[in-house]
Amino acid sequence: MKVKEDDTLLLKHCISGHGKPVSFVAWSPDDTMLLTCGNKEVLKLWDVDTGICKLTFGSPADCVISSCAWFPDSKKIVCGSSEPHNRIWTCDFEGNELEVWEGERIPKVSDLAVTPEGNHLIICSSREIWVRDFPRGKEWVISEEHSITSLSVSSDGQFLIVNLNSQEIHLWSILGNCKVADRFTGHKQGKYVIRSCFGGSNSLFIASGSEDSQVYIWHRHQGKPIQVLSGHSMTVNSVSWNPTKPHMLASASDDRTVRIWVGSRNPCQSPFP
């Protein structure tokens, strides 16, 4: 879909090529390419303008890719897999592996991200968040008490949020200078992977899906929801805030719909009055 200046939507392409359900998509920072992958599926790179698959990475027999992320220059990606063994690697768009991390100390990757300036790689395993500082060659670990299902990074690259199956979202400083996470509660999550995101004016808000078919919104400095959006009829798995239109939010649900929420353009108001 393409979003016009007046916030109307235009269908651009219907892309197909996977043999099994697609469970993960990632837009390139320059908005020209799209990565898609699924459980026991290949990773595909799509040209947004033409809708054509430019490259297929590997085969389902090689490994199970759990997640992938773009570097800010849109010229390379990082992927994580857990089968047949734990492995993290970066590659270019000719399929060449550039860096590889594997072995006993590499965690089983549930999600990963690269900060917008490209200085930090963040990896989530079952109950740990690994942060690797590329310029300094250092890494550290943030521990959680409950299983982590998803990860999102703020647009300024300073904070991250993780969804936990304890029905909490935790916010941490990526620089490792906070000992206790800020906590956000109110949504429902116990069985499924639920994704959240930063967004709104200056990324001051957090949105999350929920197993009760709602979309929950918090202010970053308030632990309780400031808004609950109703419209879906089944679990809302994922949400994504428009990076260039802070008044626009998308949500995807098990009810087989994607809903676009359009709120106030006034940054001083609650995002969806």
At 12-57, the pLDDT tens digits run 778 788 877 777 889 999 989 999 887 677 889 999 899 999 988 8
In a domain, 71, yes or no: yes
Whole-angstrom Cα distance, residue 165 to residue 169? 9
Q: Output the six-digit token pair for 103.
A: 């072995």
- What number of helices (H) and strands (E) belong to the chain? 0, 25
In a domain, 212, yes or no: no
What's the domain count of the chain? 1
CA proximity to 67, closest of 154, 125, 134: 125
Give the domain range for residue 149. Answer: 2-185
pLDDT of residue 184: 98
pLDDT of residue 19: 78
Q: What is the pLDDT along the chain (273 residues), one digit of tens a residue?
A: 677 777 777 777 787 888 777 778 899 999 899 998 876 778 899 998 999 999 888 665 566 787 899 999 999 999 988 777 888 999 998 888 999 988 878 888 889 999 999 999 999 998 999 999 999 889 999 999 999 999 999 999 999 999 999 999 999 999 877 778 899 999 999 889 999 999 988 889 999 999 999 999 999 999 999 999 999 999 999 999 998 888 899 999 999 999 999 987 665 566 776
Tell me the pTM: 0.87
pLDDT of residue 268: 55
pLDDT of residue 269: 60
Residue 246 DSSP one-character state: T
pLDDT of residue 202: 85
pLDDT of residue 30: 92
Summarised one tens digit per residue, pLDDT across range 112-123 is: 999 999 999 999
pLDDT of residue 194: 95
In a domain, 251, yes or no: no
Residue reference for tokens 């219907």: 14
In a domain, 156, yes or no: yes
In a domain, 270, yes or no: no
Q: Which amino acid is at 12?
A: K
CA proximity to 233, closest of 262, 202, 210, 205: 210
In a domain, 159, yes or no: yes
Burial class (CB within 10 angstroms; exposed 0-12, middle 13-18, buried 19+) of 108: middle
Whole-angstrom Cα distance, residue 246 to residue 201? 6
The arrangement of strands across the sheet holding 205-208 comes to 196-199, 205-208, 215-219, 227-229
pLDDT of residue 270: 64
In a domain, 215, yes or no: no
In a domain, 62, yes or no: yes
pLDDT of residue 57: 80
Whole-angstrom Cα distance, residue 39 to residue 19? 10
Q: What is the CATH number for 115?
A: 2.130.10.10
